[in-house]
Structure 1
Amino acid sequence: MEPVRAAFSAECARLTEILAELVDADLGRPTDCPPWTVRELIAHVHTGVGRLTGMLAAPAPPRAEVDAAGYFGGAKFTPQVDADRIDGGRRDAAQVDRAGLASAFDRAWRATDAAVAAAPPDRVVRTRHGDAMRLTEFLRTRVVEVGVHGLDLAAALGRPPWLTPPAAAVIADLLTGGRPVPAELGWDRLTLIRKTTGRVALTAPERAAVDAAGFRWLAFGR
């Protein structure tokens, strides 16, 4: 739990700093997660960061049924689920006030962190998809959401990526299943994450090397 919690805190704190620097013109920029604007993508991340407080307040399922990689399985991201996700981001964005953007996000992630700290390490939670997951595994998905969508926000804002080393380590481990990256690829963690989440295109030899390495492909909104 502690490395994952540290990664969550580090990445959320860094995003809070970025949000405090934004101006109104930034929020209307398009992103590579169409049809969302920067404002709508921020709203989506904010909502995702805050999910755990409600999940931990609900009764615990008897046992975990899926891990973090399974949570991102393609089968559950049906057209209807995807449409609801997009609409939800837009609805949430309508309530975003730029002046309070950073402070609202800061409150949300810190409330989640406090709830996680107060919960037993073996706690099981139920996700919005109905999956029963160990708390650590679900928090791992939150690191993915904040970190990978942080790359999307950086691209939309024309800024260098701000992915923190602790978050990069957690995301890379999930993407590879703990396997080493094939030496012939010569990828650092940022390149690995960009390539295997579709943020940068894979060449045919790269795809062959990744497939041979047995990495688990994750399915989640662009």
Structure 2
Amino acid sequence: MTVHPSLQSSIDAWTHSIEAIAELVTPLVEGEWSRATDLPGWSVRDVVSHVIGLESEMLGDPRPIHTLPRDLYHVRSESARRMEVQVDVRRHHTAPEMLGELEYTVIRRSRQLRNETRQPDTVVRSALGDERPLDLVLQMRAFDVWVHEQDLRRALGKPGNLDSPGAQVSRDLLLKTLPGVVAKKAQAPADSAVVFDISGPLEFMRTVRIDAEGNGRIDSSVSLGPTVTLAMDWDLFHQLACGRVRPAAVAGHIKIDGDQELAAAILDHFAVTP
């Protein structure tokens, strides 16, 4: 048996991004591993540790037994504590140790994915510890690895891959969150329409339409006379959606036409990742 065709795009996206991460960090000197990223409390080493840790869990490796220090100001929830264990346990690893473990983990995980024979709807344990369909779990891993690739690129001053396979998987996942953001969190009024006009390497336009019952749906057709239009580039869109920047800090890079109050509410609730 071979990999189910509907899973291959997520596997290819994951492979592209994980290999990009390896290429980014392989030439780093020891001090560069400690460079800060946009993630509170996390360095380049910490981001790579997070990726290694979650892929190890996907391989079925046991979670490390480790007690976190009490002074980690950025750890504010139980889910954050769960994530932090895989990071903190590697905080004093040297560059060669990090590279060796990353390479070994990528080899093992790549082999596992090449040999994946389960159906897309098979319920499996995700890296977050819950159970979800296999196709969604693989999409989420491709998304997570691409987003962290971008975290590393910003920290290291090496932009790129904004239109890669991982970027495309990430776009598709983030678009699915927009109806909930607009309709439920921002509470857009009934019978309204919100247009997202995104430029850059991954250009697209989507409209979220709110029906009479307040439910949202998204489509690619152009809305005539939308309630509000938000225009920005793809890099900023994904950073906002992933909570890497605050809307107020990048207000000058977002063009808003229409209902300013609704636009502000949407941007205030735009981040959909922990």
Structure 1 pair 159/177, CA: closer, same or farther in 2 (3 Å)?
A: same
* Alpha-carbon separation, structure 2, partners of 1:181 and 1:34: 28
> TM-score, normalization: structure 2?
0.61
Match of 2:244 in 1: 199
- In the alignment, is residue 208 of structure 1 matched against residue 263 of structure 2? yes
1:29-56 Cα deviation digits (max 9, x unpaired): 222212122212211111123322118x
Q: Check 1:2–1:147 CA distance in 2 against 1; reply closer, same or farther (3 A cut).
A: same
1:65-118 Cα distance to aligned partner (Å, 9 max, x none): xxxxxxxxxxxx971221332243111333x33125334323312322321232
Give 1:13 deviation, angstroms: 0.8
Give the residue type in structure 2 aligned to 1:154: R
Aligned amino acid, residue 137 of structure 2: F
CA 1:174/1:132 → structure 2, altered by over 3 Å: closer, same or farther? Answer: same
Q: 1:141 matched to which residue of 2?
A: 140
Question: How does 1:1-150 map onto structure 2 within 5 Å?
Answer: 1-54=7-60, 79-94=77-92, 96-119=93-116, 120-122=118-120, 123-127=122-126, 129-150=128-149
Larger radius of gyration: 2
Say which structure, 1 or 2, has more relative contact order (CA 8 Å, 6+ apart): 1
Distance across 1 between alignment mates of 2:60 and 2:105: 11
Report how far residue 4 of structure 1 moved: 0.7
Shift of 1:17: 0.7
CA distance in 2, matches of 1:107, 1:174: 29
Query: Could you tell me which residue of structure 1 aligns to residue 157 of structure 2?
Result: 158
Kindly provide the amino acid, as one letter, of the partner of residue 8 in structure 1: W
Shift of 1:198: 2.3
1:31–1:178 Cα change, 3 Å: closer
Q: How far apart are 1:134 and its partner, in Å?
A: 1.6
- CA-CA distance at 1:121 after TM superposition: 2.9
Alignment size in residue pairs: 197
- Between Structure 1 and Structure 2, which shows a larger proportion of strand residues? 2
Structure 2: runs of 5 or more not aligned? 1-6, 62-74, 179-194, 198-204, 206-228
Query: Partners of 1:39 and 1:78 in 2: how far apart?
Result: 21
Q: 2-side partners of 1:134 and 1:117: how far apart? A: 18
Q: CA deviation at 1:175?
A: 0.3
| Amino acid paired to 1:134 | P
Match for 1:143: what amino acid? A
Unaligned runs of 5+ in 1: 56-76
